[in-house]
Amino acid sequence: MNFLTPAALGLAAIALPIILLYMLKLRRQPVQISSTMLWQMLLRDRQANTPWQRLKRNLLLLLQLLILAALVIALARPFTPIPTVASGSVVVVLDGSASMLASDVSPSRFEAAQDAAEGIIAGLSSNSQMTLILANAQPQTLISNESNKGALRQALSEATPRTTETDWSATLALAAGANSGASSGTTIIISDGGLPNEGLPPLPGEIRFVPIGASGENLAISALALRATTQGADLLASVTNYGESQRSALVSLYRNGELFDAQRVSIAPGETASVVQSGLPDESAVYEARLEDDGENWQDQLASDNQAFATYTPGGEGRTLFVSKGNFFLEQVLTSLPDIEPFRLVVESGEVVLPTGSFDLYIFDGVLPEELPEGNLLLVNPPDNELFNVLGEISEVSGVTVTDNPLNRFVDFSAVNILKTRQIETPDWADVLVDSESGSLVFAGETGGRKVAVVGFDLRDSDLPLQITFPILFGNLANYLSPGLPFDASAGLQPGEGLNIRPFGNSRTVQITTPSRAISEFQFDTNGLLYTDTQETGIYTIRAGEEAHTFAVNLFSSAESNLSPQTEVQIGRTEIGPTSESALGELELWPWLAGLGLLILLVEWWVYQGRQIDPQVWRQRLGLGKARN
């Protein structure tokens, strides 16, 4: 046995005066006499002649010495060496990524990792401090520099994994910062592996790795995509076998929640099988692929990658027709805008005849057909038409102001000069974007099931094409009018990945519904909205006013679906194997010794009280007899 404060053992010398007091103590037997006068002289003679007595057996003395021994040894803080992972300043990195939800280790890899972290906490010495970090797409510190084991266990129990990849660079940078001020620190990574071999920050002190996982058998949906064709929509679903044995599964396909196809696939180890469906309806829909047990050769350890979603919107980027008598400035700005490749129609004179076929966006510059086509409209310098009244022309334009509207982000007309404009009666369905003392100059809105934006003046009658706000204004109007989505999620979104949402609709407030039906509201700023709460897989719905769009989040990650457990990881140029149990920690015994001393004290009190009571009374209390009168 070892002691942290061995000097406290010197307090054992207190036993000497206790023993001396018992040696000097006079022992008398209680006897009933008629008077004490005859005994006083005898007592004085005995005290004078026998100051030291032979130490006799005494239970109280023994108990008191045992109490003293227990307390003295407790003050010396005895400890016994026990196996432990680390001591001093300890940072534990707990992998909370999607792969840690695998069930090859019962009940899951993450709970096994929690058990491993619990063992580290149990072996933590009294002079050690621990920091717990949960690693996922957005790593977080669960508790920092804590030596209280109860608080550490509480923080550990509250940790939950997510269906995301792990940002190991950010996680290890956080761990390095937690250990940077320690004279000697240890970083312990509890994970099933998957750390990149490059780009990780160096870690101070010692690094240890606790591997988790037993089997790599897993099937996963690795892709789900749709594309528009002349015959409708084509769907591709891919299934990958990340295990080491031949596996089979049933791939079920759903459209708007209804099953329309199911196929059995058999996949060799490390290979991918695909399911293709062609000629699907050319209509907006939500598609889902599910991987299920076919009852034959199925084995799967991770449920999170057995389901995938995709949204389909017909029309793709949309077809745009630009009709004009010739406008160099407008042609240049339209060709510079993303997702717009307009078909150009130059009108020399006479009636405007549109080409056959439909377009999603029509841009008319100074001309209009007799009957407006179906589809969204951008009208520049328009003549009178069925949507609004053109009352005439204004030659002096002053007092130009830009209204507070999401379509006006970064739009500035303070330096724009306009020679003349059409005098347009603003319709009820429109919101004014740029106003003046003489009337509205730019407005937009929805009518008859389509979006319409109007620029009331000829661009060549102003210096707007020479201003930086020119492409900004038409870019905002094009984003509003084009049938494309107000975000780019065409390549698929991974859990935890952010999405830039451009303002759309006529509302500054956007409402986002998650796959679990949780609803959150946000405000658009001039740059739109960066949405990052995408930890759930499934379909998200974005709504601004009456307009709504959907996007899908899927776990298409080979790093997470490949469950093959790793026994070593590489950080920088250092390869780190599984941790050893050779390091010893300290298990202090003083709480048990202090408790033992208290217990002996209670026994000593009970014995002492028993001696102060007549034996006959004790016999009566114990029911062994009756006291004599």
Mean pLDDT of 214-240: 88
**What is the longest distance spanned by two Cα atoms in the chain?**
152
Q: Is the pLDDT of residue 298 over 70?
A: yes
Q: Do residues 327 and 463 both lie within one domain? A: yes
Report the 10 Å Cβ neighbour count for 58: 14
Instruction: Find the CATH number of the domain harbouring 138.
Output: 3.40.50.410
Residue 510 lies in a domain: no
Provide Rg for the chain, Cα atoms.
Answer: 42
Q: Do residues 445 and 329 both lie within one domain? A: yes
Number of domains making up the chain: 4
pLDDT at 157: 95
Mean pLDDT of the chain: 84
pLDDT at 409: 73
Residue 499 lies in a domain: no
pLDDT at 617: 61
Q: Is the pLDDT of residue 317 over 60?
A: no
SS3 percent helix, strand, coil of the chain, rounded to 5, is 25, 35, 45
Q: Do residues 395 and 349 both lie within one domain? A: yes
Q: Do residues 240 and 301 both lie within one domain? A: yes
Q: Do residues 401 and 455 both lie within one domain? A: yes
What's the CA gap between 511 and 567, in Å, rounded?
45
| Range(s) of the domain holding residue 286 | 219-308
CB 319 within 8 A of CB 358: yes
Q: Do residues 598 and 576 both lie within one domain? A: no
Cβ-Cβ contacts under 8 Å for 218 (sequence gap 6 or more):
102, 242, 243, 300, 301, 302, 305, 561, 562, 563
What's the CA gap between 418 and 83, in Å, rounded?
83
CB 460 within 8 A of CB 100: no
* Per-residue confidence band for 553, with pLDDT thresholds at 50, 70 and 90: very high
Residue 231 lies in a domain: yes
What's the CA gap between 289 and 175, in Å, rounded?
38
Q: Do residues 324 and 267 both lie within one domain? A: no
Residue 48 lies in a domain: yes
Q: Do residues 183 and 271 both lie within one domain? A: no
**pLDDT tens figures, 355-407:** 877 788 899 999 998 888 888 999 999 999 999 999 999 988 899 999 988 78
**How open is the CA angle 211-212-217, to the nearest 5 degrees?**
120
CB 304 within 8 A of CB 101: yes
**Crossing angle of helices 109-122/149-157, nearest 10°?**
180
Instruction: Find the CATH number of the domain harbouring 252.
Output: 2.60.40.10
Q: Is the pLDDT of residue 20 over 60?
A: yes
pTM value is 0.61
pLDDT at 428: 93
Q: What is the dihedral of CA 149, 155, 158, 159, to 10 degrees?
A: -110
> Which DSSP string corresponds to 446-477?
EETTEEEEEE-S-GGGBSGGGSTHHHHHHHHH
**pLDDT tens figures, 128-180:** 899 999 999 899 999 999 999 999 999 999 999 999 999 999 999 999 888 87
pLDDT at 405: 83
Q: Do residues 202 and 280 both lie within one domain? A: no
Coil, helix or strand at residue 376:
strand
Distance set, CA 74 to CA 70, 71, 164, 597 (Å) = 6, 5, 49, 9
Strands (E), 351-479: 361-365, 376-380, 389-394, 401-402, 421-425, 430-436, 439-447, 450-455
Mean pLDDT of 3-15: 81
Instruction: Find the CATH number of the domain harbouring 424.
Output: 3.40.50.880
Q: Do residues 406 and 457 both lie within one domain? A: yes
**pLDDT tens figures, 479-498:** 788 766 777 676 578 998 88
Distance set, CA 443 to CA 364, 373, 388, 411, 425 (Å) = 15, 20, 11, 13, 11
Q: Are strands 401-402 and 584-588 parallel, antiparallel or unpaired?
A: unpaired
Q: Do residues 336 and 259 both lie within one domain? A: no
Q: Do residues 440 and 352 both lie within one domain? A: yes
Label residue 51 exposed, middle or buried (CB < 10 Å: 0-12, 13-18, 19+): exposed
Backbone phi and psi for residue 20, each to the nearest 5 degrees, phi listed first: -60, -40
Q: Which of 397, 410, 494, 485 is nearest to 439 (CA)?
A: 397
Residue 324 lies in a domain: yes
